[in-house]
Amino acid sequence: MPLHDNRKGKLFIIGIGPGSPDQMTGQAREALLQSEVIIGNDTYLSQIGSLINGKEIIRSSMGQEVERAKRSIELSRSRIVSMVSGGDAGIYGMASIVLEVLEHEPCSVPVRVIPGITAANAAASLLGSPLSGDFAAVSLSDLLTPLEVIERRLHAAFSMGTPVVLYNPKSRGRPHHFALAMEIAGRYREAATPVGIVKNAYREGEEIMVTTLGEIMHAEAAVDMHTTVIVGGEESRIWRNGDDVKGIITPRGYHKKYVY
């Protein structure tokens, strides 16, 4: 579906990026400006405040994702609707549930998923270049995935030897998942492995911390639900400028081929 077409209703599923409006794509901005109705939860709506002035706003809470998806489809039969997710809507976001509900609805509303900068990109950029090549991502939230499946995935991810990005590392309801993940990481990685902790990337309250797997439990208090954690891979190292810790570098392998 083109961004502009003259059918009556349509549905955009938009990733608005990590927070600051600067981190939203031009395409996401244009879709929001075109929309008549905007649906999302409060955190995301407040991040895009000035772009959605004068539009009908439907605020929804966490835990109401299925109703939110149904409502957005219903409204998009006759109006231009944007459903907003933080980061990228297709990565731990609302895109799949909207598409799944649509599979069961006999309706031909044009739908378009618009990508956004996901927390892994945002956090990685603030740490330097900790991902660089292959990496794995695991969410520690057991709201939709049983804990034993998460544990199995953590073993698989850390056994790859690549950096691992942890989404949803901790929340009040599951304070111990992070310690469990670090314990599993320790079985596959040396204590000197760098770990980056990025809280509130590109939004108010931004904090960036670099530590090591051996020291990580001293930094545990800094980890919460607004944080993304990147555990380095076998080749990752701390990026320094003199004595200053600047971030994390995971070499892509150019040093094996070139002298620089």
The residues of the shown chain that bind ligand SAH, judged by CB under 6 A, are: 18-19, 85-88, 91-93, 118-119, 122-123, 167-169, 198, 200-203, 225-228
Amino acid at 33: L
Q: Which residue's Cβ lies closest to ligand SAH?
A: 87
Please name the amino acid found at residue 55.
Answer: K
Q: Based on CB atoms, which residue is closest to ligand SAH, 9 or 137?
A: 137
- Report the distance separating Cα 53 and Cα 43, nearest Å: 16
71/199 with CB nearer ligand SAH: 199
Q: How far is the CB of 29 from ligand SAH (least distance, A)?
A: 17
**Shortest distance (Å) from residue 228 CB to ligand SAH:** 4
Minimum CB distance to ligand SAH smaller for 24 or for 122:
122
Residue (86 or 233) nearer to ligand SAH, CB: 86
Q: Least distance in Å: CB of 97 to ligand SAH?
A: 12
Question: What CA–CA distance (Å, rounded) separates 193 from 236?
Answer: 7
Nearer to ligand SAH, 91 or 111 (CB): 91
Smallest distance, Å, CB 26 to ligand SAH? Answer: 18
The residue (of 86 and 194) whose beta carbon lies closer to ligand SAH is: 86
Minimal distance, residue 224 CB to ligand SAH, in Å: 8
Task: Tell me how far, at minimum, the Cβ of 119 lies from ligand SAH, in Å.
Answer: 3
